[in-house]
């Protein structure tokens, strides 16, 4: 059993190594194995996902993938746009008859998160995750895994999964390492909850629609939470700064006719004087 686990681990490490070949920010590596031998590898490029690259390589060499095991450092993608013409990786894996997949890291994109896993599960694919230490190695290599939980100000836009209350950390600026940890949850159709956290209270900036309309963020009534409609602005109050957040999109799941649970918001950090 130990030898079997060690063998799987070697293939997982090979997939992580493939990540180093990726150009750009999002790094994904994939390895296909048949009869305990690597038959194809792939890494993400701007035009091709890692799983597809490995599958294409294997097929070009005439390899039957029905007995293959796939090791991929990121959860295989699903169709996120109705106009998408190229089959997503989850569908491709099923179409090629691959019945076992090891996944390194869950895709943090709220529109994909665990949807690839579910799609493969529903088609009878056996799914396992890389062990914790290798997931940590992926997290250290690939900045993409932080995109939906961390950002750097003073301005920006984020998309956050909110099926469970989610905390995101925003650094004041490139030059200022101080951070604010703010919390969100779903509320209902076209609205979200903003929550207080340690050292941070929240207030709804009533009637304001643009950040420029708020000259003094401190005038509003701060408390433990605020319900924020699309287009409204909420203020997070930190001892060193205010963070103004305008909700651009809010999804509350199937019960409200939405496919996902997410909040998309634009933010601006303003340092407090004195």
By annotation, the residues acting in catalysis are: 51
- Cα separation, 192 vs 186, in Å, equals 5
Give the number of other Cβ atoms within 10 Å of residue 112's Cβ: 22
Complete DSSP assignment for 120-137: HHHTT-EEEEPPHHHHHH
Q: Which long-range contacts (CB under 8 A, 24 or more apart) does 24-27 make?
A: 25/143, 25/144, 26/142, 26/143, 26/144, 27/73, 27/141, 27/142, 27/144
> What are the structure tokens assigned to 102, written together?
């090891």
């Amino acid at each position: 059993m130990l030898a079997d686990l060690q063998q799987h681990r070697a293939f997982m490490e090979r997939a992580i190594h493939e990540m180093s070949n990726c150009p750009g920010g999002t790094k994904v590596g994939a390895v296909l194995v048949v009869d305990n031998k690597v038959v194809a590898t792939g890494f993400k490029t701007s035009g091709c996902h890692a799983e597809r690259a490995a599958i294409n390589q294997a097929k070009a060499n005439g390899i039957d993938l029905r007995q293959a095991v796939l090791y991929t450092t990121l959860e295989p993608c699903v169709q996120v746009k109705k106009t998408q013409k190229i089959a997503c990786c989850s569908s491709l894996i099923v179409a090629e008859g691959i019945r076992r997949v090891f996944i390194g890291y869950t895709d943090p994109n709220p529109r994909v998160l665990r949807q690839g896993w579910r799609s493969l599960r529903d088609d009878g694919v056996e799914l396992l995750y890389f062990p914790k230490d290798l997931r940590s190695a992926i997290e250290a290599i690939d900045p993409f895994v932080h995109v939906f939980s961390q950002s750097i100000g003073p301005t920006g836009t984020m998309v956050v999964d909110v099926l469970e209350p989610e905390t995101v950390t925003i650094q004041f600026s490139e030059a200022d390492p101080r951070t604010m940890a703010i919390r969100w949850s779903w509320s209902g159709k076209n609205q979200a909850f903003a929550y207080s956290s340690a050292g941070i209270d929240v207030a709804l900036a009533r009637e304001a629609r643009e950040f420029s309309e708020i000259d003094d963020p401190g005038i509003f009534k701060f408390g433990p939470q605020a319900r924020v409609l699309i287009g409204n602005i909420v203020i997070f109050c930190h001892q060193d700064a205010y963070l103004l957040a305008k909700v651009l999109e809010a999804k509350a799941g199937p019960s409200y006719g939405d496919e996902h649970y997410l909040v998309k918001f634009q933010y601006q950090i303003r340092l407090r004087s004195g």
